[in-house]
Amino acid sequence: MFTRRAAVGWALPLMLLMGGALVLPFVWRTGLLLSDCAQQEAGCALAELVADDEYLRAAWNTWWLSTVSALLGLLLGLGSAVALRQRPGARPALSALASLGANLSGVPLAMALMVLLGAQGVIPLAADAMGWPLRLDLQGMGGLLLAYVCFQAPLATLLLVAPVGLMDRSLQEAAATLGAPDGLFWRRVGLPLLLPSLVETFGLLFANAAAAFATPFALSGTSAQVLAVRMASLVSGDIFAQPELSALLALLLFSMMAVMLAASRWAAARCRRLLEGTS
């Protein structure tokens, strides 16, 4: 019989390999960075990071874009998942579209946004023809946020379809029998039951946005003020490379994602314990 212990035994070599590939480079680079700064060598990466506002701004922009796009994607994805629950016949088509949207990032997404909303895009030209000037800076934070939401919302839909579909329909039917409208049911019953799944989905969406590189690079090039693009530009700089500073930014990004994922898992587990205690 294929037991849980057997599954863990089969997966252990892969887990050790992945853990080594992820943890060992970061431990090694962290040790080197701390050693360089402890010896007060010239060009300490940590001192340069603190002194340069550009990298701190990139860290803040990454945190802001990841948080806001995750919240907006979670809201849109939850609405789509609830709509699919009401109309299960549309689930195959919408799931296929959501899968396409979740993977449509990077250059294809940037080109689509430029064709639609760029300076010479279809929508701005049509708006100008009707006398309603429309200008959207796709290279700014607003444009990046729009691009992030375009792949965050479909991913949230895919992640929330199963938890929303597994909810007991008898609860909503009982609430309707007692005269409770749908809005009251979702506010008092549905959302609290879905809260653990929502928290975990938010953590995954945050990590997905924080690690995004192709989309901001395709829209803004090396001028994109996010950590992933800054790291790449430091490794392959036009004048000289700074691999130590790039490694430090990678550690910062890794820490940001690890903290958010750990916090979301802890909050989700706590929500589940509270729900089990009240049931």
Q: Give the model's pLDDT for residue 43.
A: 54
Whose tokens are 């590939």? That residue is 21
More confident position, 22 or 265: 265
pTM comes to 0.84
DSSP string, 83-119: HHHH-GGGHHHHHHHHHHHHH--SHHHHHHHHHHHST
Looking at the chain, list the stretches that DSSP marks H as alpha helix, in order from N- to C-terminal side. 4-38, 45-51, 53-86, 91-103, 107-117, 122-129, 141-165, 169-177, 182-185, 191-210, 214-220, 227-235, 243-278
pLDDT tens, residue by residue, 84-107: 887 877 778 887 888 888 888 888
Q: In this model, does residue 174 exceed pLDDT 60?
A: yes
Summarize the confidence of residues 57-82 as an average pLDDT: 92
Domain span holding position 256: 53-278
The predicted-structure confidence for 180-197, as pLDDT tens digits, reads as follows 777 777 777 778 888 899
pLDDT band, very low/low/confident/very high, at 2 (cuts 50, 70, 90)? low
In total, the chain counts a number of residues equal to 279
Contact 105, 146 (CB under 8 A): no
Residues 23 and 63 in one domain: no
Question: Do both 68 and 202 map to the same domain?
Answer: yes
Average pLDDT over residues 221-240: 80
What pLDDT band is residue 279 in, cutting at 50, 70 and 90?
low
Question: Is 143 within a domain?
Answer: yes
Q: Is position 45 within any domain?
A: no
96 and 6 fall within a common domain: no
- Say which residue, 169 or 116, is predicted with more confidence: 116
62 shares a domain with 32: no
pLDDT of residue 225: 87
Query: Does a structural domain hold residue 174?
Result: yes
Structural tokens at position 169: 């329909």
If 0-12 CB within 10 Å is exposed, 13-18 middle and 19+ buried, where does residue 215 land? buried
Structural domains counted in the chain: 2
Residues 16 and 60 in one domain: no
106: CB partners within 8 A, 6+ apart: 214, 215, 218
**Residue 109 pLDDT class (50, 70, 90 cuts):** confident
272 within 8 A of 197, measured Cβ to Cβ: no
Residue 272: inside a domain: yes
**Is 85 found in the same domain as 17?**
no
- Please indicate, yes or no, if residue 46 is contained in any of the structural domains: no
Same domain, 1 and 76: no
pLDDT range class, residue 199, cuts 50, 70, 90: very high
Residue 113 has pLDDT above 80, yes or no: yes
